[in-house]
Amino acid sequence: MQVLATGIGADTTLARIINRVEDAQDAKARTQSFIDRFSAWYTPGVMALALITGIVSGNIVLALTLLVIACPGALVISIPVAIVAGIGRAARNGILIKGGEFLETSAKITAVAVDKTGTLTEGKPQLTDVVTVNPAYDRTEVLRWAAAAEAGSEHPLAVPIVDAARNEGVAPDGIPEHVTPVPGKGIAAQVGDQRILIGNQPLLDEFQVAHNSEAESAANTLAAQGKTPMIVALDDTVLGVIGVADQLRPDAAEMIARLHATGVEKVVMLTGDTRLVAEAIGRQVGIDEIHASMLPEDKLEAVTQMQRDGYVVAMVGDGVNDAPALATANIGVAMGAAGSAVAVETADIALMGDNLLKLPEAVGLARRTVSVMRQNITIALATVALLLAGVFAGGVTMSMGMLVHEASVLVVIVNAMRLMRNSASAPRQATAA
């Protein structure tokens, strides 16, 4: 037995996850950067106040007390400890967040755009129908010619067609001489001296194949059932229509309901499938808005338009076909990223598995984390303000001030550590926060 090693330990998915989590915990959120800038002015201000107080009052103990208790220790640690706790909790739950900035942005998400194949569906399509529309060709012939063309295609829908042909004993002999993908339409393949087209009606129109009303009707019927129809044509003759269906994920509808519960205003489907297919899937899962027959550049424009409309957009896709939209969205989310180096390296959030419910969990956790950050800032500032007032009122000594100050640091840390607990009611808490 021979085994080929494709990478050493540092190249494995686990190593990439560890490196990404470490980098994420070091990355600063916008609020943290603001606190750092605030501290750069606050600390010298406190030193100047202590110096002036000592000179004016002649009381060195009072000046030192001010200097010690006004130290912004709890304020400085309030954001980093919450970020580390939030990212750590997410990583333990299989949600890889790239950094504090993306965690904070995720808390503001108001719209989610999702791809259909591999996101709402399982990404494992199967051949369901072979419809003949030409008396000269039976079902087996239609499947054989379709498989002969798809044998040279890298599209995910090619696999179930070739597999079905193999199971029925009409597997293609080799791959076509030439295969030309037509984005958003299908493929054109050259097998021997014959041209095979397999795709939608616009593909046939592009190659000037005459319309076949029976084929169009069969394609529309399959699409209305949530199946992806593909018309098969040999040279200028339409042979039939094949239907491929991808199983809907059982938790797709619950995911959308939970996203709405976390405060997401709308969930939009962006798919290259026909509108009939998209609408059939959308009805089952409760999609708010559907955009169908989309090319990669169309998805990019749809995301850009939502941003222009004032939405903070998260785009969920496979990281390859949806790359332009993922890059443009405020937050790019890769589904099933385990084993996908591209997704782990480039996505803002990678869901390490195929559990759709991780997406609303990520949004809910982000909102809880931002809520804790605000609580920590309030605790830190209130503590310093009360101590300063107490010092000038004469009721707070240096030892008492130090005790209260250190206690506030512990309170901030303990408050952030609450994020490390699992919470079944996270979406509800996030909404309330």
Which residue is catalytic, options 11, 23, 36, 115? 115
Give the sign of the dihedral formed by CA 412, CA 413, CA 415, CA 416.
positive
Cα–Cα–Cα angle for 262, 340, 126, rounded to 5 degrees: 85
265 beta partners = none
> How many angstroms separate the most distant Cα atoms in the chain?
108
Between helix 30-57 and helix 73-92 the angle, nearest 10°, is: 160
The SS3 of residue 334 is strand
Residue with tokens 């390296």: 345
The candidate with the shortest Cα–Cα distance to 104, out of 33, 38, 40, is 33
Q: How far is CA 54 from the centre of its chain?
A: 56
189 beta partners = 179, 196
List, as own/partner pairs, every contact residues 171-174 make where C-beta atoms lie below 8 angstroms and the sequence separation is at least 24, other chains included.
171/147, 172/144, 172/147, 172/148
> How many DSSP H helices and E strands does the chain contain?
17, 13
Q: Where are the alpha helices (DSSP H) in 262-322?
A: 275-285, 296-308
54 beta partners = none
Between helix 213-224 and helix 275-285 the angle, nearest 10°, is: 20
Sheet containing 95-97: order of strands: 95-97, 349-351, 331-334, 313-317, 111-114, 266-270, 289-291
* Torsion-angle region of 230 (φ positive above 0: left; ψ -120 to 50: alpha; else: beta): beta
- Buried residues in 176-211 as b, exposed as e (16+ CB within 10 A): beebeeeebbbbbbebeeebbbbbbbebbeebebee
* Active site annotation includes 115: yes
CA distance 279 to 277: 6
Catalytic residues: 115
